[in-house]
Structure 1
Amino acid sequence: MEVKSTTKFVRLSPKKARDVAREIQGLPVSAALDILAFTPKKAAFLINKTLKTAIADAENNFALDVDNLYIKEAVIGAGPTFKRFKPRARGSAGGILKRTSHIFITLAETPEAEEKPKRVHVSKKVEA
């Protein structure tokens, strides 16, 4: 079972947010929350909010155990860009791009340890 959570139109550039998202991919939820709590970036705060939303959805809507969840995907997509102008020398104008991003987090249950079939040793008979 997978649980998805999104936060859209965040006023943060995707390039800055991807650094934080890469750190938590593939980790158990508890470890990811610890990393995000002690990362001093705006992206960590916003990704933490989205992750907590996904955890709450998994627990309340799908009755999943939080201890068995891990982060399958943490994707940061580019949102719309606000275009602004700043006055420059000699009457010209320079463009400013204010970027936004969309945060997508997918949680999944940890795959149970699959039992491997026992190997049966078959001896080869050599006929002379």
Structure 2
Amino acid sequence: MSQSPSAGSSVKFADNTANDVTTVEGVEEIQHVLDALDDADCRAILEATSEDALSANEVSEACDLPLSTTYRKLELLTDAGLLEERTRLCTTGKHSSEYVRTVEDVIVSLGTSGEMGLEVTQRTRPASER
């Protein structure tokens, strides 16, 4: 599997105000999500961001990745719709980005005629984050 996303390609899911199940349609969109999940570094980042939103530096440290690699993987995961980039407000006025996992489950299925399906269960967001 290729690990570089298609230029301009981005998978978008429904607003995750509850545990919504979204079907990803289109071969390119499905492949984009699968490429991200096929990457061990991306899976480590998804695990690291499962509880708390982390900055790129925090992800780099938690996953023992070079910062340049971390930024590439964060972009791959956000484009695939598996992470959400937010703005972390700082009292100093120097705001930064932080990343949090947006999905709970990804289910891949194969139909009887060989077509592939991909269903994504969005994580529940607290009311304070909506």
Fold shared, TM-score > 0.5 on shorter chain: no
TM-score (norm: length of structure 2): 0.33
TM-score (norm: length of structure 1): 0.33
Q: Which has the larger radius of gyration?
A: 1
Greater fraction of residues in strand = 1
Kindly indicate whether structure 1 or structure 2 has the higher relative contact order, using CA contacts under 8 Å at least 6 residues apart.
Answer: 1
